[in-house]
Amino acid sequence: MRLPIPDPRDVAILGLRGVALAEGLTSALPRALALLSAAENLVARAAVLVDEIDATRRAADVVVARTNETVDSANAVIIRTAGTVASVEPTLERTEGLLDTFVPTLEKIHPVIDRLAETTDPKEVDALVGLVDHLPQLVDRLETDILPMLANLRTVAPDIHDMLDVTRELNLMLSKLPGMGRIMKRVDEQQEIDGA
């Protein structure tokens, strides 16, 4: 397909706009990728912290539930054994057996709770709460702003490449026209002035 030869000023303006557009897109892509990477890291760290806190909470809930069951059982045993002194000894043995079943669980949870208490600063807890509060907004912006922009960049890249090829061809064609050397020199000087 033959391209119509535009006015040299139009080509120069088109070339400048194409270069500026390519530079803008080229500089925006690393920032968008860095922002996406930082957001992914932040979400991953928050997910790990939430999972650890949730696991500790579940373990504590189990211990509390078992403790409540033990207390309920102990209360029932005390009420039943209040009338007879002879039945106190077997009841105490049963209660000790129940408590012995909880000792391994408590021993397993103890280092986790100690580590959590030693390594967690109140500011970190506040920061985690703030992060969890902002997660819906962060995910919404990621889905509505960043991911569509990245999808657009994939479709724009071939167009930019084609546009750069056409610009190179036009520059070659224009450089062969009489008097274009002076015009191109003026455009270069103007770009240097604009850049300064």
Q: How many CB atoms lie within 10 A of CB 16?
A: 15
Residue 19: what pLDDT? Answer: 65
One-letter identity of residue 74: A
Q: Rounded to two decimals, what is the model's pTM? A: 0.26
Residue 66: what pLDDT? Answer: 85
Nearest to 4 by CA among 124, 195, 166, 155: 166
pLDDT tens, N- to C-terminus, the chain (196 residues): 565 665 656 656 666 666 666 676 677 677 777 777 887 888 788 788 888 888 888 887 888 788 888 877 777 767 776 666 566 577 778 878 877 887 788 788 888 878 878 888 888 888 888 888 988 898 898 888 888 887 777 777 777 788 888 888 887 887 787 877 787 788 888 889 988 7
Residue 85: what pLDDT? Answer: 53
The token pair at 123 is 């500011």
Exposure of 140 in the CB half-sphere (CA atoms within 13 A) = 5
For the chain, give every domain's residue range.
8-189
With a CB cutoff of 8 Å and minimum separation 6, the contacts of 52 are 116
Which residue is it, tokens 């077997």? 90
**Rg of the chain (C-alpha set):** 36
Q: How far is CA 59 from CA 53, 56, 103, 107, 109, in A?
A: 10, 5, 14, 12, 7
With a CB cutoff of 8 Å and minimum separation 6, the contacts of 193 are none
Residue 16: what pLDDT? Answer: 64
DSSP H or E segment with residue 142: none
Q: Would you say 182 and 9 are in contact if contact means Cβ atoms under 8 Å apart? A: no
Burial class (CB in 10 A: 0-12, 13-18, 19+), 109: middle
The token pair at 154 is 């994939």
